[in-house]
Amino acid sequence: MTIRFGVMDIIVIGGGQSGLAAARNLLDVGLTPLLLEATDQATGSWSRYYDSLTLFSPARYSSLPGMAFPGDPDRYSHRDEVVAYLARYARELSRLGAEIRTGARVVAVESSEEGFTVRLTEGTVLTAPGVIAASGSFDNPHLPLLPGQADFTGQILHTAAYTSPQPYAGKRVIVVGAGNSAVQIAYELAKIATVTLASREPVRFLEQRPLGKDVHFWFNVTGFDRLPARLVSSPPTSPVLDAGIYRQALRDGRLERRPMFTHFDGEAVVWPHGVREPIDVVLLATGYRPNLTYLDGLGALDDNGYPRHDRGLSTTHPGLGFLGLEWQRNPASNTLRGVGRDARYLVRKLKSHLDLRRSPASV
């Protein structure tokens, strides 16, 4: 079944923070969005994160366009609060006129005379002059292949599969990574397990509240959050925000950090200088890759599956945009506090494209 929308201007793929921000900005400029979310609720990946996850930014810096995050603006909100906020945001978008379809998984996007054809798993085919791929960066865990991994007899998991520390009680665990999630999970696990953080580079810490203000206040007033990505040749690894508890745990031995092990050997890993140690579990906090397989046949991605884009605008297909990519335009691009600015920029560019497409001179 093919459905051609005369009233739907843009199809937004993904109902997490990026897709919701896109839909709000589309409504604000007078465009009508159809938002497609593969799961049963438009809250993105947040409900699938580990149970204890707490935001690293205060509530005042954790809002999407048009709706403040509720409660004390200086508190650090829990995962479940973010899920509730996004669900409320989606309900408000529906009230304002956005159509949100859950359980609508996109399998392919193709070029068409109308602009784009979007195919869903159940066979529905939709068309629209514009598409925003906002399926995010957190649904496609990156699992590097480490030497000897195939013969390791312990358990290897990405931290995307981690929910709580209880299953790891009393075990010998390595958390691979040096970012915020790696350190937060390792610190939590160290209360009931023997844990080592393993990383190629030392963990870099950033004070959470310098001079009595949260670091996100300083990011905002200094303009760091708006630093153009094009000025950075290679996006740096984000430092770990710490009020002091993680550094203290490393100093007093409750948590250990070592250089990355060289390879697996049966039930063990081999550390630099040849020390072999049996390990029960290796948790990989090795990040995520864009979840854009539905664009594979379009020619809009490079050989590594990354979008060909300029600040979110496709460089291969006019009318196609991307949202929620890491360092898409600046350091905050794939965060609650920053995705709204990127959405506003992208939507204005796409609206100009659609206006030009519809003008008599283009016919």
The domain spanning residue 84 has which CATH number? 3.50.50.60
Q: Are residues 348 and 293 in the same domain?
A: yes
Looking at the fold, whether 127 and 154 belong to one and the same domain comes out as no
Among the candidates 254, 284, 314, a domain finishes at 284
**Are residues 15 and 54 part of one domain?**
yes
Verify that 294 and 255 share a domain, yes or no. no
Last residue within a domain, chosen from 250, 284, 318: 284
pTM score > 0.95 for this model?
no
Q: Are residues 331 and 353 in the same domain?
A: yes
Same structural domain for residues 115 and 93? yes
Task: Kindly state whether residues 310 and 194 are assigned to the same domain.
Answer: no
298 and 259 housed in the same domain: no
Q: Would you say residue 188 lies in a domain?
A: yes
Q: Is residue 227 part of a domain?
A: no
Task: Assess if residue 246 is contained within a domain.
Answer: yes
Same domain, 252 and 296: no
The two beta strands, 268-270 and 172-176, are unpaired
- CA proximity to 286, closest of 181, 192, 357, 359: 181
pLDDT tens across the length of the chain (363 residues): 555 444 579 999 999 999 999 999 999 999 999 999 999 999 999 998 999 999 999 999 999 999 999 999 999 999 999 999 999 999 999 999 999 999 999 999 999 988 999 999 989 999 999 999 999 767 788 999 999 999 999 999 999 999 999 999 999 999 999 999 999 999 999 999 999 999 999 999 999 999 999 999 999 999 988 888 776 656 667 899 999 999 999 999 999 999 999 999 999 999 999 999 999 999 999 988 888 999 999 999 999 889 999 999 999 999 999 999 988 999 999 899 999 999 999 999 999 999 988 876 554
> In this structure, is residue 229 part of a structural domain?
no
Please tell me the predicted confidence (pLDDT) of residue 362: 53
Residue whose tokens read 């709580």: 164
Same-domain status, 51 and 159:
no
Q: Considering 269, 284, 299, which residue would you say is the last residue of a domain?
A: 284
DSSP codes joined into one string, 15-32 = -SHHHHHHHHHHHHTT--
Structural domain includes residue 278 = yes
Strands (E), 54-199: 99-102, 106-112, 115-120, 125-128, 130-133, 155-158, 172-176, 194-199
Give the structural domain span for 20. 2-140+288-362
In a domain, 220, yes or no: no
pLDDT (0 to 100) of residue 312: 95
What b-and-e string marks burial along 25-51, b requiring 16 or more CB atoms within 10 Å of the CB?
bbbeeebbbbbbbbbebbbbbbbebbe
Verify that 49 and 171 share a domain, yes or no.
no
- The predicted pLDDT at position 363 comes to 46
Residue 247 lies in a domain: yes
Cα dihedral across residues 232, 238, 243, 247: positive or negative? negative
Query: What pLDDT is stored for residue 8 in this prediction?
Result: 77
Q: Are residues 8 and 93 in the same domain?
A: yes
68 within domain boundaries: yes
What's the total number of domains in the chain? 2
pLDDT of residue 235: 66
Chain position carrying tokens 């859950």: 102
The token duo for 328 is 């898409």
CB atoms within 10 A of CB 57: 22
